[in-house]
Structure 1
């Protein structure tokens, strides 16, 4: 029995060691070295102190980001079938929608924009705070989770 336990532990340790070999670490810059900003990871800005690419997630709500004119803003909001994100809306003329080029899972929202003109735009989306009940007597709420990011184009 002792030999089996020792062998099992050694095998488990080897699997964990190998699993770590494929993990990613380091900064979030693209392979071309252009300014790519994921608000959680710093990178080199493009001209004028603004990034050439900005990638946003649900956790970035409330942030203000700067993207260089001609650059891109891409975002993915991970939702669920029972708590889906509404399509992302934009205000102003600073950003122009482009093809995000991604397949969506049920409940997700994705969008991509080209920084077309100097100015400011707001990106917004919402989703239910709670899933709708699937059975009579289930818990329900009418709360809404809001997502909003301000984008400055220079």
Structure 2
């Protein structure tokens, strides 16, 4: 009978995978937990998965290259996108605190809505776009900060979480 032993490299790789998984956020929803999506970042950083056609060219570094997907963490940022490139917006919400439909303002002819590719969970906000012409577009959405009371005497709030990004199509 042959004896099997773990090698140090295998053990190290398994440890790294476990540690990487511990720091990730679950998408399981925050059913009434009162948690709020992260604040917008102040320093633009490129998304690790830049989509083909994404361009960093713009007005003197005033925008970051747009990756394949935008999330609530991208709120307040400005992104550059080359014509014919596509991207998705996924805003994770809950049934109690749903995102409103994503609004498009500005040079609305610059982006064409395309098929998102799959269904979203209840409360999520999502859309997909392809850049078809040069222009500047603002995408925005809102959702309540607190869940609506479900019984008499429960506390409610009128707070709104806003999400907004600017996309410059070159």
The alignment's TM-score, normalised by the length of structure 1, stands at 0.70
- What is the aligned partner in structure 1 of residue 120 from structure 2? 104
Distance 1:128 1:44, change over 3 A: closer
Q: Select which of 95, 109, 127 maps to 1:93.
A: 109
Q: What SS does structure 1 have at the residue aligned with 2:85?
A: strand
Q: Deviations over 1:78-134 (max 9, x none)?
A: 000000000111122211100101211110011100001001000011100110011
The alignment covers a number of residue pairs equal to 126
Provide the rounded CA distance (Å) in 1 between the counterparts of 2:123 and 2:84.
30
Q: Deviations over 1:57-83 (max 9, x none)?
A: 001100000111000121100000000
| Shift >2 Å, 4+ stretches | 16-23, 38-54
Residues 71 and 91, structure 2, Cα contact 8 Å, conserved in 1: yes
The yes-or-no answer on 1:149 pairing with 2:147 is no
Q: Select which of 14, 18, 41 maps to 1:20.
A: 18
**Alpha-carbon shift at residue 17 of structure 1 (Å):** 4.1
Distance 1:96 1:44, change over 3 A: closer
- What is the aligned partner in structure 1 of residue 81 from structure 2? 67
> Which 5+ residue runs of structure 1 have no aligned equivalent?
1-12, 24-37
Provide the rounded CA distance (Å) in 2 between the counterparts of 1:57 and 1:48.
19
Residues 52 and 72, structure 1, Cα contact 8 Å, conserved in 2: no
Q: Which structure has the highest strand share of the two?
A: 1
Q: What SS does structure 1 have at the residue aligned with 2:109?
A: coil
Provide the rounded CA distance (Å) in 2 between the counterparts of 1:126 and 1:85.
6
Considering only aligned residues, what root-mean-square deviation do their CA atoms show, in Å? 2.9
The alignment's TM-score, normalised by the length of structure 2, stands at 0.64
Q: What SS does structure 2 have at the residue aligned with 1:70?
A: coil
User: Within 5 Å, which residues of 2 pair with 1:2-21?
Assistant: 17=15, 20=18
Q: Which has the larger radius of gyration?
A: 1
